[in-house]
């Protein structure tokens, strides 16, 4: 087995990426504290070609070198915006027909592996603060709550790990189905 070199990867340019079909997912970051986490979620969102990222509350915004350290340029490829009030961001997406889903541990949450996203639906996935999770204000406005099953002692994944797991699940269910 031989590893691929960068030239072998046939990566899209930023311009090509902006024109390609996107996963019908908007990522909402609800007061995410760590700029490294923000940058990593940009990079992960680029990898799965999500539509956009909406940064809310105290979430840091590009340009910032601490975000770029992990984003590796994805802040240029992914469309993003900042909306201070998460309830305003959610309301705007609801009027555009998005299903609003918190990624959180909550009563009556649906386990990720049982959730079947409709290919005709657009989704907004809310990832919350590293300590407090998705805000109570946002939880009052969601349509659904998805929980990632966990089996260890911590019952907590890093937000970037959670985003990677959930975005891969949506990507595989919406685009890789046979």
**SS3 label, residue 110:** strand
User: What domains can be seen in the chain, in order of their start residue?
Assistant: 21-149+156-175 (3.40.1280.10)
| DSSP 3-state percent helix, strand, coil across the chain (nearest 5) | 40, 25, 40
Q: Per residue in 92-125, pLDDT tens?
A: 999 999 999 999 999 999 999 999 999 999 999 9
Q: Give the pLDDT score at 178.
A: 54
Percentage of the chain lying above the pLDDT 90 cut: 96
- On average, the pLDDT of the chain sits at 97
Can you list the positions of beta strands (E) in the chain? 23-30, 50-56, 79-83, 98-103, 110-111, 122-128, 144-147
């Amino acid at each position: 087995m031989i590893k691929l070199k960068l030239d072998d990867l046939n990566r899209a340019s930023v311009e090509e990426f902006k024109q390609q079909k996107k996963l019908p997912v908007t990522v909402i970051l609800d007061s995410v504290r760590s700029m490294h986490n923000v940058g990593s979620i940009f990079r992960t969102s680029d990898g799965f070609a999500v539509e956009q990222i909406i940064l809310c509350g105290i979430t840091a915004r590009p340009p910032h070198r601490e975000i770029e350290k992990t984003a590796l340029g994805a802040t240029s490829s992914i469309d993003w915006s900042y909306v201070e009030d998460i309830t305003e961001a959610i309301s705007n997406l609801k009027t555009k027909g998005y299903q609003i889903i918190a990624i959180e541990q909550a009563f009556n949450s649906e386990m990720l592996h049982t959730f079947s996203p409709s290919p005709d639906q657009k989704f907004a996935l809310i990832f919350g603060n590293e300590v407090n999770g998705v805000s109570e204000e946002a939880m009052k406005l969601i349509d659904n709550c998805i929980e990632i099953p966990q089996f260890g002692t911590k019952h907590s994944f890093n937000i970037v790990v959670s985003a990677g797991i959930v975005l891969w699940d949506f990507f595989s269910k919406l685009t890789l189905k046979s």
